[in-house]
Amino acid sequence: MARHVALVLVLAAGLALPTATLATDDASPVSGTLDPHPEWLIEASELQVMLPAGGSVKVVALQPADEFAQAHIPGAAQIDWPDLEIVETSDQRVATWRAEVETKLTALGLSPTDTVVIYDFDTLYAARLWWILDQLGHEDKRILNGGFGAWQVSDGEMETGPSRVEPASEPYAGTPNEDAIATLAEVQAALGDPNVVLVNARRPDEYVEGHIPGAVNIEFTRNANDTGHWRSPDELLSMYAAAGVTPDKTVIPYCSTGVRSAMTYFTLRMLGYPRVTLFTGSFKEWSSHPDLPVTTGDQP
């Protein structure tokens, strides 16, 4: 893992935990230093205040174009996750993909200095675009907590039809954050390393059918409650710690194509885990190599 040296937001009460070292004891199974980023989640009420103010706030919906056309946040751009997919993590493919993504971000009207707010509609996929911006070094990027459903509940204004955003005046040029991506070779090298934990974010039935050896199964939907809002930090920290996913380890989330596991990546980063890296090639890339081991059943 040579390239990878390395929310807290109480949703109900609106309180943030400070940076802290959590010691392992009978009350808390979590250990390690956390540097939480509650600002990476934005509530619908906050976004309603920000948008009329103008400036460099850009909203992007990660959803199909036909669904977007039925209703969306005014002024939002639209793109869907298949347009951003990458399931091969060779250096050349990643470099080519980044250039392709930068072209698409330019078409969405985005610049590296913009505040970008991303939302989805009941899929919890918004974190995929957040991760893409993160691996391009984009500084100010946030997710609308609760997605478009939260916007509707808050009586936010809506418009219909296709996106009408204009391309950015300058090509988007990111600064690659290599720590955000785990390659196939790096995941293979991490097998059996006690300082690394893999998190399979797929459904339990998918996990049972086959997973990377040693991976624990925490389905990505478990990060949210029934309304699509992130669960409380205490719940999240306890859930991950119970599976051995603690801040003192390097954590590698994956799923089938890196879309669902991006939520795991975002959640752990927001909680303040210092070393989280997404295997975007995920099980699709892993299983395409017959020589690589696969474990079946409900145990790591």
The whole-angstrom separation of Cα 217 and Cα 198 is 9
198 close to 214: Cβ distance less than 8 angstroms: yes
Q: Where are the beta strands (DSSP E) in 55-149?
A: 57-62, 77-79, 115-119, 141-144
Q: Model's pTM, two decimal places?
A: 0.90
> Hey, CA dihedral for 235, 267, 37, 28, is it positive or negative?
positive
What whole-number distance in Å separates Cα of residue 76 and Cα of residue 82?
Answer: 19
Q: Is 173 left (phi over 0), alpha (psi -120 to 50) or beta?
A: beta
Q: What share of the chain is helix, strand, coil (3-state, %, to 5)?
A: 35, 15, 50
CA dihedral 119, 124, 125, 130 (to 10 degrees): 60
Along the chain (300 residues), what's the average pLDDT of each consecutive run of 10 residues? 33 34 40 86 96 86 98 97 96 97 98 97 97 98 98 97 96 97 98 98 98 98 96 96 97 98 98 98 98 98
Domains of the chain: 39-176 (3.40.250.10), 182-287 (3.40.250.10)
> What local confidence, expressed as pLDDT, does residue 49 receive?
93
